[in-house]
Amino acid sequence: MFNEMLNDKIRNKRTLVCLGLDTDIHKIPGVLLSEIDPLYEFNKAIIASTHEFVAAYKLNIAFYESLGIPGWELLERTLSIIPSDTLTIADAKRADIENTSRKYAETYFKTFNFDAITVSPYMGMDSVAPFLEYEDKGVFVLCLTSNAGAQDFQFLQIEEEPLYLKVAQKVLGWNFLYGNCGLVVGGTHTNEIQEIREMAPELPFLVPGIGAQGGNLEKVVKYATDSFGLSALINVSRSVLYASSEANFAEVARERVKNLRDQINRIINVQKNPGLIDQN
């Protein structure tokens, strides 16, 4: 099952960090702009400098498809250099009527061979099922997102419960099919993370909102991980990728990721699982 594979990666690499490769030509260091393929060189340098400290890379598909054919080629080339001991997540937020979702699933799970994808639950089970049928792949369903607009719908009360808990409850049921469901839960909602974790004690969580969005790391680690300090990926993107605009950008990114890994492991060591910690 995907959850077991995820936790194996976390244990083997001793890290819960997920690094988002949201690569933007307008933000990469100027020193790269003279390269023939500056975005690829940026991704290659970031991956080479950080992979030992991350359990997964999350590629936000918008940053690639916005470039047209070169963007899809960049996506493919970037995936080819990610080490096999690190998970790849397509942050695509897809889901549509069943036959369309089937093609989306084929795109990301067969053509590009991602290990996991993010999907929207809004259209219901038949729109998500084609992704779930890839039993060895992870499907992270949007549950409670980190953006301000989450208040518009996700907190609406349905039968005296917020909608995000209804989503979590549904996904728990879907998980019985193939055991490959997870939840996207924003790190800016720490009280709600605790509530969702209590409802779904074993589902893997993908947690954005740390770093540039200001989520509280200690509370996120405490509430998002399971009782063993596992089953969670804590995502960081901009605050690492663009920490330096100079030629040393990869070294600075490496130090940022290592420090985050060490912070997380210290918190887990105190709260839940001393065996996970590694300060090497």
Kindly list the catalytic residues: 93
Q: What is the DSSP letter of 157?
A: E
The total of other beta-carbon atoms located within 10 Å of residue 96's CB is: 15
* Residue whose structure tokens are 């259209």: 123
Quote the crossing angle between the two packed helices 190-199 and 163-178, to the nearest 10°.
40
Query: Which of 195, 142, 141 lies closest to 165 in space, CA to CA?
Result: 195
Tokens coding 23: 């690569």
Can you tell me the distance from the alpha carbon of 185 to that of 207, in angstroms, rounded to the nearest whole number?
A: 5
User: The dihedral of CA 63, 67, 69, 75: what is its sign?
Assistant: negative
SS3 of 35, please?
coil
Q: What is the DSSP letter of 276?
A: G
Beta strands in the chain, from DSSP E residues, in sequence order:
17-20, 56-60, 87-94, 116-119, 138-144, 157-158, 161-162, 181-185, 205-207, 232-236
Q: What is the DSSP letter of 24?
A: -
Query: Which of 56, 69, 173 lies closest to 115 in space, CA to CA?
Result: 56
Question: Strands 56-60, 87-94: parallel, antiparallel or unpaired by DSSP?
Answer: parallel
